[in-house]
Structure 1
């Protein structure tokens, strides 16, 4: 059987499309390749976005904002020292973009103006930290990305 150019081009296209479809099906059906949304309740969080914008403006208006530093003990988060640490409440959320199983949240309970997160809780790589905190009924939000 003799194959002409037209038949060869059609066979190459069919082979290429089959190759691509194989990988599309494999990526969608195999649990090893997870492709989740960034957060589980994305649309619910989107509705609260204006509050988040206002809280970030409040934090940027502070004379001294939160500082995050890596030390030998772990990650040290220093709250503004001009605020009474006993009146500060909120949560510290650490988010790992590459693996949602490593994400965790810590409630803020201060005995001084610093919080230390031990090295045991953090694995090397990129992290996003979000600190939602309240001082005298004013919401503040601090966001930062860092590599540990």
Structure 2
């Protein structure tokens, strides 16, 4: 076999491999954007920065504690957050279809527990935002369940 045939075989193999990769990419159905309103959230990110600064000025830090044996995430808020309203957003970077929101429930106590036994194992980003007396607070934590 001469070198011309070898070059043709390499070229045809490369084209076939690239065609296979294109076909494989077109078969995927789980390609998601980070969020549907990504650009609007990016423009409003300064609000999140201001809320994070408010959170840093609290008497103690919001603590996230994952109890593996009980499959519970415990959120321990500062005392001055009692009576706040807000939400806890569970963000799954690998699959936007699994994202969900839990209502914040710290009307009388400074902690909240959330059962996570049914969640998929892997990386989750827990985003907590709450308001009290017109002042917003925000904290996020990456957790591997």
State the TM-score, normalizing by the size of structure 1: 0.84
- Alignment: residue pair count: 142
How far apart, in 1, do the equivalents of 2:18 and 2:90 lie? 37
Alignment of 1:70 onto 2:69:
no
**Residue 54 (structure 1) aligns with:** 50
* Partner SS, residue 120 of structure 1: coil
How far apart, in 2, do the equivalents of 1:76 and 1:122 lie? 15
* Partner SS, residue 117 of structure 2: helix
**Residue 82 (structure 2) aligns with:** 85
Contact conserved, 2:71 with 2:117, CA < 8 A, in 1?
no
Gaps of 5+ in 2: none
* Partner SS, residue 22 of structure 2: helix
Cα deviation 1:60-119 (Å, max 9, x = unaligned): 2223121111232611111101x1511x11110011222223211012132311111013
Alignment of 1:127 onto 2:124:
yes
**Residue 99 (structure 1) aligns with:** 95
How far apart, in 2, do the equivalents of 1:17 and 1:61 lie? 59
**Residue 35 (structure 1) aligns with:** 31
**Residue 17 (structure 1) aligns with:** 15
State the TM-score, normalizing by the size of structure 2: 0.86
How far apart, in 2, do the equivalents of 1:79 and 1:60 lie? 12
Gaps of 5+ in 1: none
Tell me whether 41-50 or 113-122 shows the greater mean CA deviation. 113-122
* Partner SS, residue 65 of structure 1: coil
Contact conserved, 2:61 with 2:77, CA < 8 A, in 1?
yes
